[in-house]
């Protein structure tokens, strides 16, 4: 068997369902043979073992059944770091990198005020691990990651270990801010809480539209009829905490779809009446309104 024969067979399997089938065949071969795609192209006549050939074909078959490539390789790159993923974790998306870009714009040296960064719905841990890896040497910053799924948290912890940040991040299981609300209520000095929230925000229709999305965990995707179910619950929790403890200020980074911006903003304004609130919207590279930043004091 040669690489070329494996590529041809792989393309045959992929052709029917996958638009970019030539590139994907190359990526699958590259993963199985542990060779970069450029090397594959220059070594088409290289012999491979029967088991390597079989693996390439097996993965190509799965890919043609709409399994996302990242689930087949078990790895996805996010903010220049590689994350292990499996079918229990959402595949990190490039648009979520906006959250990291925006948070790192803050000047974390400006004051000695304690800051707590909380990633709600951590999934693979890509957001909290990326931010902790950038800010780990700053003083007075504490990192937390919460998810409702035990299996997801297991993977996030593995990723933290892989990036040597396991001791820097506390992982908690539970519903949105509930696992940490007692701590937040009892904070005595003025404190700044930064929340990263890429909560499930898709509607049923949006999930149905894409075959590969359907292979990802529904709990990571479905946000109720208007996609805002979890953001509404989150703001109810924030309001309760703020009512009990006005020492803390929140900045909440919320990933959304373009069409949800107005509804989300209206909901926050209504819920947080009486508090000082500032909203800012950030667009992604496709010019879609993607990140709503809400500051509440
Ligand atoms: C859209 S995924 C985001 C994953 C990851 N943060 C990322 O950006 O790739 C949403 C995550 O929220 C978690 N989740 C869903 N409902 C939750 C809840 N009520 N409380 C905490 N986490 C929840 C899901 O298990 C899933 O991991």
Query: CA 69, 213, 120: angle at the middle one, nearest 5?
Result: 100
The pLDDT confidence band at residue 262, using thresholds 50, 70 and 90, is very high
**SS3 state of residue 177:** coil
**241 near 177, Cβ under 8 Å?**
yes
Select the more confidently predicted residue: 106 or 252.
252
Measure CA 90 to chain center. Answer: 7
Do residue 58 and residue 103 come from a single domain? no
> Beta-carbon neighbour count of residue 76 at 10 Å?
22
Residue 222 lies in a domain: yes
155 lines ligand 1 (CB under 6 A): no
Gap from CA of 78 to ligand 1 centroid (Å): 16
* Segments forming the whole domain that contains residue 32: 3-65
- Asked if residue 189 and residue 114 are part of one domain, the reply reads yes
Task: Kindly report the pTM of this predicted structure.
Answer: 0.94
pLDDT of 207 strictly over 90:
yes
On the question of pLDDT at 8 being above 80, the answer is yes
Determine how many CB atoms are found less than 10 A away from the CB of residue 22.
Answer: 14
**pLDDT tens digits for 21-45?**
999 999 999 999 999 999 999 999 9
Question: What pLDDT sits at residue 15?
Answer: 94
Ligand 1 centroid – CA 287 distance (Å)? 24
pLDDT in the model for residue 6: 97
The answer as to whether 279 is a domain residue is: yes
Is 71 inside a domain boundary?
no
Q: Residues 52, 105: one domain?
A: no
73 inside domain: no
Counting ligand 1 atoms within 8 A of each CB, the residue from 123, 144, 217 with the most, and so the one to mutate, is 123
pLDDT surpassing 90 at residue 159: yes
Residue 176: CB within 6 Å of ligand 1?
A: yes
Confirm whether 77 is domain-assigned. no
**Residue 211 has what pLDDT?**
84
| Number of compact structural domains in the chain | 2
State the chain's mean pLDDT as an integer.
Answer: 95
Please answer whether residues 86 and 71 qualify as being in contact, where contact means their C-beta atoms are separated by less than 8 angstroms: yes
């Amino acid at each position: 068997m040669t690489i070329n024969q494996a590529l041809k067979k792989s393309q045959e399997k992929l052709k029917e369902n996958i638009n970019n089938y030539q590139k994907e065949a190359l990526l699958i071969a590259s993963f199985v043979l542990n060779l970069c795609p450029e090397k594959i192209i220059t070594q088409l006549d290289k012999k491979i073992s029967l088991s390597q050939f079989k693996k390439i074909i097996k993965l190509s078959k799965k890919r043609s059944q709409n399994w996302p490539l990242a689930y087949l390789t078990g790895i996805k790159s996010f903010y220049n770091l590689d994350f292990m993923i499996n079918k229990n974790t959402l595949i990190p998306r490039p648009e979520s990198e906006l959250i990291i870009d925006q948070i790192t714009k803050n000047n974390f040296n400006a004051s000695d005020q304690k800051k707590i960064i909380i990633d709600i719905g951590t999934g693979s841990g890509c957001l909290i691990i990326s931010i902790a890896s950038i800010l780990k040497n700053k003083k007075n910053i504490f990192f937390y990651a919460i998810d409702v799924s035990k299996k997801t948290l297991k993977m996030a912890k593995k990723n933290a270990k892989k990036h040597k940040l396991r001791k820097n991040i506390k992982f908690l299981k539970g519903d949105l801010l509930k696992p940490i609300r007692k701590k937040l209520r009892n904070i005595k000095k003025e404190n700044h809480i930064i929340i990263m929230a890429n909560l499930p925000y898709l509607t049923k229709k949006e999930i149905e539209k894409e075959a590969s999305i359907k292979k990802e965990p529904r709990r990571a995707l479905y946000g109720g009829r208007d996609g805002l179910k979890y953001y509404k619950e989150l703001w109810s929790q924030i309001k309760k905490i703020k009512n009990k403890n006005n020492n803390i200020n929140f900045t909440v980074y919320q990933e959304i779809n373009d069409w949800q911006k107005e509804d989300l903003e209206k909901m926050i304004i209504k819920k947080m009446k009486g508090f000082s609130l500032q909203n800012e919207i950030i667009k992604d590279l496709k010019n879609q309104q993607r990140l709503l930043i809400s500051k509440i004091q």
